[in-house]
Amino acid sequence: MEVKECVYVVSDSVGETADLVVKAVATQFNGGFVEIKRNAFVEDTEDIEDLIIMAKQGPSIIAYTIVIPALKEYLDKRVKEEGLVAVDLLHPLMDAFSGTFHKNPKNQPKLMRQLDDSYFRKIEAIEFAVKYDDGRDPRGLLYADIVLVGVSRTSKTPLSMYLAHKCYKVANVPLVPEVAPPDEIYQIPRGKCVGLIISPDKLNSIRKERLKNLGLTSQANYASFERILEELDYAEKIMKRIGCPVINVSNKAIEETADYILNVLKKERNS
């Protein structure tokens, strides 16, 4: 029986990196003639011995991404003893990093998976912020890590997106005198909700600029001091009823406000 050529993808983690590299190379040879077998989470010498036995059965290559030094040394030793072909896909580049940037590698497996998990948490948080922006669906308030409440133009949406990039699921609710806030807003724990306020002068300036960008007159009720004071007074009453901490965003950058929010909520939860 004909033995098919085989590439053994070996890793002390998932093995996705080595798998992709091998497949990329295989396509240069039309790939179909070679079988690719992934051996993930190789953790001890017994795993390597099992691999050696399989690799000796026919024409084969071992392509590996092993960062644990003792395990790599053992594999290199056994491959040499058995006359097998093995390709280290990580260490030549790691050595280049070390020599050029004068840094030492951690030599810890599964770090890439940790990065991937962080990336997907961030994407999930961003999608959450978009879905529950501007009070679109109050059901999301009960699942949010942070809920922001405030009148229009208090940076609720930019703050939600900034915090989402830090992997926090954020929902925000606009407070408007003519529209009663959703019931869910009163069910949020103090340690998850923050009220945003702003000085009347600052809000007046921001709203006038907003109207200008929309091609509307700055004399509209939206930017009038009377309307602004009415909204701020209404928002303050709602925030007192919720019992949430309140932050003045008048002269703060988004980054500064976001850090302040996280510190305030941390204190609330600890108390």
What CATH number does domain 120-270 carry, 3.30.70, 3.40.50, 3.90.1720, 1.10.357?
3.40.50
Please check if 151 is assigned to a binding site.
Answer: yes
Q: Is 154 assigned a ligand-binding role in the annotation? A: yes
Q: Is 100 annotated as a binding residue?
A: no
Map 135-189 to HEC letters.
Answer: HCCHHHHHHCCEEEEECCCCCHHHHHHHHHCCCCCEEEEECECCECCCHHHHCCC
Could you report the per-residue pLDDT of 60-73, keeping only the tens digit for each? 999 999 988 899 99
The reported pTM is 0.61
CA–CA separation, 152 and 175 (whole Å): 7
Is residue 150 marked as binding?
Answer: yes
CATH of domain 5-109: 3.40.50
Predicted confidence (pLDDT) per residue in 217-249, tens digit = 766 789 899 999 999 999 999 999 999 999 999
Q: Is 212 annotated as a binding residue?
A: no
Residues of the chain with CATH 3.40.50: 5-109, 120-270
Report pLDDT for 199. 96
